[in-house]
Structure 1
């Protein structure tokens, strides 16, 4: 066989081609995505064909049919931007057992009270889904259930039921006879998803696809799957906690900043409209190593408690363990402490965690993390009723964070009486980015260059310029 006639192999993720099969793509480094593409074909000239509808000025297009319809689950509607849009395709991804099927069954039952819903399961039998529906009270006459793993059979169910909402659990279990490979493979997932998207657009059916995730938390299957759908939702949660969160990674019909909070229990799943207070421990007395901050999840200010434990170790490599925090962000804050504050924690184990299973990625928690570590190392507690906000820079400066007034208002509503924030936060001024002067250690602490103002009756706010001035409030 000549070189020109050799079959080409193509990566389903990035399009990289090679003359022979390999298990790992040489471009995107993805495993199991390289498949035979056949001989290379030239570019074909496409002749004009029939159109489904003539092109019209955009001002004459009717937008009423694209209005979102609520699902009946308020927290899910919040993330979706008001509800499900007719013809939209939503991909919901999450770890196994996190509660994806329970959430969608609850939404299907609420929607079935006034519209026809078709729930297609490829992972369970119909009787297993019925048992879950009995347990959570999701029995409705408008909810149709089918257990299928073949795409053609799924389309036949859609033809017969004529649903307004279609739920497929999951897209990786559905196979097509027109595509090569096994269900869940790159080719099969692309073929199934493409047909379901086309079906949803042609018939105006709101469609929700359940997706699997890999070990590192990314959505399994080809990357094109996320491009095909209109909305990508991530379902998160700790197996040891009942709290679940839905975040939008992509949303063509609404913002991606919103977060929905849920409580997963034996009777089903319930939305939490006011999650404030779930992530803060109530100690009768101040405890060393704890500090409360206020993070922004979507449009919600949520107080959250950070805890730290610092102890000497004889191990050559001290442990740095984080739970609910970005480990890279924690390492950066610890490095700033050692370099700028001369903190002697290089030979200590440092454990950091959040309360309640919440995951914090907001840079505004940097200062609270630093003060909790300092508090744990020196066995000194922060003042009672205090919240701490501020992003820490590598030079030791404090940077103002967004929505400070909303954060402080939420802290005041929950009974906190004091706050520590970067200078200029309340006046919306740019803080002076001056690194702290070199110090010989953590013992010689001067009085902070701070300014205390009254934010609300009984709530005082102290503004500090850098991390050194913030340390004085621990000591």
Structure 2
């Protein structure tokens, strides 16, 4: 006699499954996150089973020709995807509400619709709402088909019948499988719906874009199980008060990761920013202390950004530390190194740090620029505005080497910078052409770096 099917308890934070309830998740340690859900019954998810014996192939017998890519009509979008859309790929696009996910996908439909058919499936908006937004964005292609539906079985049959060239699902949290008792947006629903779309994309060779929501911590709601299923994960970053948006690739099976594309949110949709460095440096103040230009590598692209520091007397017993666009703990470490190794005392001083343009600097190569900006404000010493500085700072006060040094210098020279402060160990590997292209000053410690950057100001 068959055993009775029992319910499962699934953690809403990490996806851990258990046959019994826990007050505290054994996997992630969160409290009150175990939710009761009915188990998924095999064969009732809207996809017919095609079990058959397959013969494995030798590695040398597999066709290794370059995959054909579909252009989105936006160079920045294509860059992040690795050169365009790969046929049969499943792409997850995530970001905060209102940041522009649906906007950029509709603009993509306008270009792709010139030669291919696109099926836009929405579970959040009605067809009339999508039409109004398309009119605002100037999207009027005849090859764009819109469907307002949340039932996955019905969507699968529609895709098989219509056979569009590209499918967009907006969003995965609204999709539902009737055979699963849990509500839309739950871990079980999101996982099983994504699995169905993944098998559909691979079997039919249709690229599918899936829009994903984020939770209060900024991570993709799902949770990580959703990112493991898809081929590409794209994040839309940006502050609401800034018009600039950064599209970042966190996972890409068909290209490099950590590539970014920069866009500007305008009245008629997203506009590409093909020269982010020039955009980030526009409006720089002159003859003002506390500013320094940093160069960070985003994938294969060097981007220049202005770092501003402000150090002022504190009115409280405990000095205040604040930073925007840079890691708070790393800024505290840099201040401690400046005090211990270079003699710049920040005790009793409030320190504020800001990266202009909403860009976030994750790379350690920005350490030297941050230190220069803070010390410049502390001493009220103006730095040369045509000077660039980059390098990682160690706890001993040394300036350590960074990667892609020559690319950073070439980008700085293209934008008119005449002096560059770099780590001493990077100078040896530079070509002769790069060494004579501008005034390059190799430094070993943070004290010598600040002396070199201010001696001609």
Q: Say whether the fold is shared (TM-score over 0.5).
A: yes
| Whole-angstrom distance in 1 between the partners of 2:284 and 2:256 | 37
Q: Is it true that 1:178 corresponds to 2:179 in the alignment?
A: yes
Check conservation: 2:37, 2:182, Cα contact below 8 A: no
Check conservation: 1:293, 1:304, Cα contact below 8 A: yes
Q: 1:154 to 1:330 in 2, by over 3 A?
A: same
Q: TM-score, normalised by structure 1?
A: 0.86
* Contiguous gaps of at least 5 residues in structure 2: 40-49
Q: 1:27-66, aligned counterparts within 5 Å?
A: 27-30=27-30, 34-36=34-36, 50-51=51-52, 53-63=54-64, 66=67
Give secondary structure in 2 for the equivalent of 1:424: helix
| Whole-angstrom distance in 1 between the partners of 2:297 and 2:71 | 25
2:435 alignment partner in structure 1: 455
Give secondary structure in 2 for the equivalent of 1:455: helix
Deviation of 1:30 (Å): 4.7
2:109 alignment partner in structure 1: 108
Deviation of 1:71 (Å): 2.2
Please say which of residues 157-166 and 95-104 is displaced more in the overlay: 157-166
| Whole-angstrom distance in 1 between the partners of 2:299 and 2:434 | 27
| Whole-angstrom distance in 2 between the partners of 1:139 and 1:474 | 56
Q: Is it true that 1:210 corresponds to 2:189 in the alignment?
A: no
Q: Is it true that 1:343 corresponds to 2:344 in the alignment?
A: yes
1:314 alignment partner in structure 2: 315
| Whole-angstrom distance in 2 between the partners of 1:73 and 1:300 | 17
User: RMSD of the alignment, in Å?
Assistant: 2.5
Q: Is it true that 1:367 corresponds to 2:368 in the alignment?
A: yes
Check conservation: 2:227, 2:233, Cα contact below 8 A: yes
1:439 alignment partner in structure 2: none
Check conservation: 2:290, 2:382, Cα contact below 8 A: yes
| Whole-angstrom distance in 1 between the partners of 2:311 and 2:89 | 50
Q: Is it true that 1:417 corresponds to 2:397 in the alignment?
A: no
Deviation of 1:307 (Å): 0.3
Q: 1:65 to 1:109 in 2, by over 3 A?
A: farther
Deviation of 1:59 (Å): 3.5
Check conservation: 1:71, 1:107, Cα contact below 8 A: yes
Q: 1:439-465 CA deviation, whole Å, 9 max, x = no partner?
A: xxxxxxxxxxxxxx98335x2111111
Please say which of residues 279-288 and 305-314 is displaced more in the overlay: 279-288
| Whole-angstrom distance in 2 between the partners of 1:62 and 1:412 | 43
| Whole-angstrom distance in 2 between the partners of 1:7 and 1:189 | 18
1:187 alignment partner in structure 2: 188
Q: 1:129-169 CA deviation, whole Å, 9 max, x = no partner?
A: 11111111221111111111221232232133211111001
1:305 alignment partner in structure 2: 306
Give secondary structure in 1 for the equivalent of 2:292: strand
Q: 1:347-395 CA deviation, whole Å, 9 max, x = no partner?
A: 2111100111111111111111111101111111112311111110011
2:229 alignment partner in structure 1: 228
1:275 alignment partner in structure 2: 276
Check conservation: 1:454, 1:460, Cα contact below 8 A: no
Q: 1:42-77 CA deviation, whole Å, 9 max, x = no partner?
A: xxxxxxx94275433344444559432222222111
Q: Is it true that 1:26 corresponds to 2:26 in the alignment?
A: yes
| Whole-angstrom distance in 1 between the partners of 2:22 and 2:409 | 58
Please say which of residues 67-76 and 228-237 is displaced more in the overlay: 67-76
1:450 alignment partner in structure 2: none
Deviation of 1:218 (Å): 0.8
Give secondary structure in 1 for the equivalent of 2:98: coil
Q: 1:133-212, aligned counterparts within 5 Å?
A: 133-212=134-213
Check conservation: 2:7, 2:38, Cα contact below 8 A: yes
| Whole-angstrom distance in 1 between the partners of 2:7 and 2:172 | 30
Q: 1:21 to 1:454 in 2, by over 3 A?
A: closer
1:121 alignment partner in structure 2: 122
1:446 alignment partner in structure 2: none
Deviation of 1:9 (Å): 3.4
Count of matched residue positions in the alignment of Structure 1 and Structure 2: 438
Deviation of 1:18 (Å): 6.2
| Whole-angstrom distance in 2 between the partners of 1:252 and 1:197 | 14
Check conservation: 1:333, 1:370, Cα contact below 8 A: yes
1:385 alignment partner in structure 2: 386
Deviation of 1:10 (Å): 4.6
Check conservation: 1:289, 1:372, Cα contact below 8 A: yes
Q: 1:6 to 1:248 in 2, by over 3 A?
A: closer
| Whole-angstrom distance in 2 between the partners of 1:330 and 1:147 | 48
Q: Is it true that 1:465 corresponds to 2:444 in the alignment?
A: yes
Would you tell me which structure has more helix in proportion to its own residues?
A: 2
Q: 1:90 to 1:339 in 2, by over 3 A?
A: same
